[in-house]
């Protein structure tokens, strides 16, 4: 399973903490904000975002622990808005979860290479997208809840 960092408090350090582990011995991963995925869908449709749902081929080097593929980190899942491309509506977070879950056979059981952060709780996700999306999360991610204050406030 991947890691899901969740906190109701904005600025609690979810993204910073997860990005600290982008280069790691088990599996490196790249960063993508879900709002940017929405922008890419509006501009190019599904072709603009499907790349971000597959493992990333990379050269096996010492700097990435000789890994031939990297995964993805999706920042602020369920924090973006619905988008539209030529009359086709999409909610990027739903699309990400569907593609990773329904087509996980294509990933050969490598869902642990995909991670995310979110301010949305399970109840929030169920209100936004329904029970189906919430029920898939435990199969896909290890939930880690971060407590504490907004660390951006001085």
Res. 110 pLDDT band, cuts 50 70 90: confident
Which of 42, 109, 114 shows the shortest CA–CA distance to 80? 42
pLDDT (0 to 100) of residue 24: 85
Measure the CA–CA gap between 49 and 85, rounded to whole angstroms.
Answer: 12
Give CA separation, 62 vs 37, 50, 66, 70, in Å. Answer: 30, 28, 5, 14
Structure tokens at 138: 């435990």
Question: Which residue reads 């490598």 in tokens?
Answer: 110
SS3 content of the chain, % helix, strand, coil (to 5): 40, 25, 35
pLDDT at residue 106 above 70?
Answer: no
Q: How far apart are CA 34 and CA 80, in angstroms?
A: 6
Compute the average pLDDT of residues 10-19. 91
Share of the chain above pLDDT 70, in %: 95
């Amino acid at each position: 399973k991947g890691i899901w960092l969740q906190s109701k408090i904005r600025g609690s350090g979810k993204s910073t903490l997860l990005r600290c582990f982008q280069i790691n011995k088990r599996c490196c991963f790249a960063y993508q904000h879900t709002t940017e995925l929405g922008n890419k869908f509006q501009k190019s449709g599904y072709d603009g975002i499907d790349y971000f749902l597959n493992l990333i081929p990379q050269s096996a080097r010492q700097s990435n622990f000789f890994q031939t593929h990297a995964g993805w980190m999706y920042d602020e899942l369920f924090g973006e808005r619905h988008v539209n491309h030529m009359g086709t509506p999409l909610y990027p977070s739903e699309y990400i979860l569907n593609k990773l879950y329904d087509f996980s056979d294509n990933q050969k059981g490598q869902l642990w290479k995909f991670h995310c952060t979110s301010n949305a709780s399970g109840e929030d996700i169920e209100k936004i997208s329904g029970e189906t999306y919430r029920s898939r999360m435990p199969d896909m991610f290890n939930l880690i809840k971060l407590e504490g204050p907004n660390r951006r406030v001085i």
